Amino acid sequence: MGKYRDFWKVTEEALDFAIQQFGLQIPPEQHKQVMDAWLHPTPYADVEAALPRLKEKYILAILSNGTPKMLQKGLERTGRRPNFRWVISADAVKLYKPSPEMYRLALKRMRLQKNEILFVSSNSFDVVGSKNFGFKVCWINRPGIPLDPLGPKPDLIAKSFGELVETI
């Protein structure tokens, strides 16, 4: 709608909406605990082994709707920051994926062409958006769900990062 609020604020508003929608009573400390969970992500088990193997052969980046603080804290707490050359937030363009501007931001920051990027995501909207933009795309489809039929299909589908490493 052309009205940007950072992902932290949008997430907090979504939580407040859900609490209201379901008529829940949440004490302030529990509300804070739920929000702070975004700063303490738990990577899937296969990611720990896969990232260093991917980093040996490829330059890795994160392109996220998350705020810089969310990304920094999450990478810091998981110890994954050294795997990534770039960590790019939607805050830079004040738009969210799947906006083409977000994918253009990746090209600009990384100084690469579309055909030099394999975009990897577990989110159907991001798979469709990035493929529509022109990236080569891998969908990490852990649960084996159907792809959103509204857009183009990914170039590759893997059930895990381990499978991605073995495939590419």
Q: Tell me whether residue 2 is in a domain.
A: no
Domain CATH number, residue 64: 3.40.50.1000
**Are 102 and 119 within one domain?**
yes
For residue range 106-150, what is the model confidence (pLDDT) as tens digits?
Answer: 999 999 999 999 999 999 999 999 999 999 999 999 999 998 888
Contact 23, 137 (CB under 8 A): no
pTM higher than the cut 0.75: yes
**Are 30 and 51 within one domain?**
no
Give residue 97's domain range: 45-167
**Are 16 and 81 within one domain?**
no
**Are 19 and 54 within one domain?**
no
How many CA atoms does the CB half-sphere of 104 hold within 13 Å?
8
If one counts the domains in the chain, the total is 2
Judge residue 41's burial from the number of C-beta atoms within 10 Å of its C-beta, 0-12 exposed, 13-18 middle, 19 or more buried: middle
For residue range 46-79, what is the model confidence (pLDDT) as tens digits?
Answer: 998 999 999 999 999 999 999 999 999 999 999 9
**Are 50 and 110 within one domain?**
yes
